[in-house]
Amino acid sequence: MAHAQNRNRTDVLIVGAGPTGLTLACDLARRGVSALLVEQAPALFPGSRGKGLQPRTQEVFEDLGLLAAVHAAGRPYPRMLNWENGERQGEWDLVGHAEPDPTVPFPAVWMIPQWRTQELLHERLRELGGEVAFGTALSGLDQHPDRVEARLTGPDGTGRTVTARYLVAADGGRSTVRRAVGIPMAGEQVDPRPALVADVEIDGLDRENWHVWPKAPGGPLLLCPLPGTTAFQLFARFGAASDDAPDGSDPAQPDTSAEGVRRTVAARTHLPESAVGAVHWASDFRPRAALAERFREGRVFLAGDAAHIHSPAGGQGLNTSVQDAYNLGWKLGQVLRHDADEALLDSYEQERLPIAAEVLEISTRLHRAGGVRAGGLRRGPRTEQLGLGYEDGPLTVEARPGLPEDALRAGERAPDAPLDGAGLDGAPANALAGRRLFELLRGPQVTVLAIGRALPRLPAGVRGHRVDGGVVERAYGQGLFVVRPDGYLGLATYDPADLPGYLARFGLR
């Protein structure tokens, strides 16, 4: 992240160093945009919480340069193993296996605890020259036509005012920023039953399975081995009253103390309390779905949980938050570094709010369909976030008439493809073995693909490639395709004359 010379002046102030804020900070850093990322807590969030990275999120992390580390620190989802009366009852898959597809490089949902994802994002941010100001809270803000003035309180209690061109609220479901700018959030309780989630050390269970007690007294309990650690993530649903607890506690309410976690495990599984070692983190929550009325107020943007809150079912919340940051980052970059019209920033809410609303419906439906059960969750391009796009968005221009019904269209995700068997920029096909189209798209720039067409002259700052034949042409069809920096097709046309006006919207002339 490029830093402004004056520590009290920056282009973008990001409030909240969760997955959303860290992703946005990384994206702005590689664009040379000065940004300040502040976090009220003294350190990164310590719990596992969102532990599944969808295929689309893995593509984002590859582009940002940290996917290899994410894959090294995680694993595919283990098989579920049901227990009853201390006996194994059979295994099943929570997430089905995808068929190989040359256009999808990372087909499996990847398991990695949220705290580790955040550590890797933080490490990548530091590699890019950025840092997080921990222990720094937002205490107030004022908006002006050309700037935001934010009052910050540091870890020593000292206050200061930071002036930013834009401010991004990535400070979670109880967002201080959202309340400060007066954006309402409407929602509903997805499930009235509270739940307990914790990261614990467990003896007596193998680490090759995700262990489930679906018929446990008081409600189901799950223990999932967290990759790269010796811990398990515990999830227990409450609210199904059982016999009164001997110590007088309410058995229908989670007890997040270490002793309470141990009692819950012993009451619902065949494991004794002594099998539970250290409790690293524990929290109780009631699944909720909520959506902000709008994602922008003047120069303030909402992203991640500050804009939408999901049930954990289906692993959508963290992934949708990363996509928010990836969508907003390049638009801020084009405005701040390439003098694009500020109207480009209006498209953030126009594109992301409908997506958030749809994903909320998906996660709520999955939760109410029964949560974890034999048979698993139905996978598909939309739950994997590969099929979510901006076909009706304000930046989408499909200018090829008469396309077949199943043709790739502007607004959809730009698919990957092996370059084997294709010609690239005049190079012979036999020189491209092992290379992928995503290698050509990687980076913060806009890319134009000329597929089965001549590559026209392009403005400075636009990367162009001519590709002929192979899987690429079968996946895309022929034409000229503008691939946005976030990997979606903006313009699809046959006419080179359509390019200059479209690219000018991004400040590229």
Give DSSP secondary structure letters for 242-290.
-SPPTTS--TTS---SHHHHHHHHHHHSS--GGGEEEEEEEEEE--EEE
C-alpha span between 57 and 42 (Å, rounded)? 27
Is residue 411 within 8 A of residue 392, CB to CB? The reply is yes
Q: What is the pTM of this model?
A: 0.94
Distance (Å, rounded) from C-alpha 99 to C-alpha 469? 23
Per-residue pLDDT of the chain (509 residues), as tens digits, is 444 345 799 999 999 999 999 999 999 999 999 999 999 999 999 999 999 999 999 999 999 999 999 999 999 999 999 999 999 999 999 887 778 899 999 999 999 999 999 999 999 999 999 999 999 999 999 999 999 999 999 999 999 999 999 999 999 999 999 999 999 999 867 778 899 999 999 999 999 999 999 999 999 999 999 999 999 999 999 985 444 444 444 457 899 999 999 999 999 999 999 999 999 999 998 888 899 999 999 999 999 999 999 877 666 889 999 999 999 999 999 999 999 999 999 999 999 999 999 988 877 777 666 554 444 445 567 678 899 999 999 999 999 999 999 999 999 999 999 999 899 998 877 778 889 999 999 999 999 999 999 999 999 999 999 999 999 999 999 999 999 999 999 999 999 999 999 999 999 99
Residue 482 tokens read as 């503008």
CATH, domain range 397-504: 3.40.30.120
**Residues 240, 246, 251, CA angle at the centre, nearest 5°?**
20
For the structural domain made of 195-285, what CATH number should be given? Answer: 3.30.70.2450
Looking at residue 413, its amino acid is R
195-285 and 397-504 have identical folds: no
Give residue limits of the domains in the chain.
9-74+112-188+289-368, 195-285, 397-504
Which among 121, 115, 120, 108 has a CA at the least distance from the CA of 53? Answer: 108
What CA–CA distance (Å, rounded) separates 288 from 395? 32
Helix, strand, or coil here: 471?
helix
Task: State which CATH number among 1.10.10.10, 1.20.58.220, 3.50.50.60, 3.40.718.10 fits the domain covering 9-74+112-188+289-368.
Answer: 3.50.50.60
How far, CA to CA in Å, does 134 sit from each of 16, 29, 158, 283, 400?
9, 18, 13, 22, 50
449 has which bridge partners? 465, 481
Distance CA 192, CA 286 (A): 7
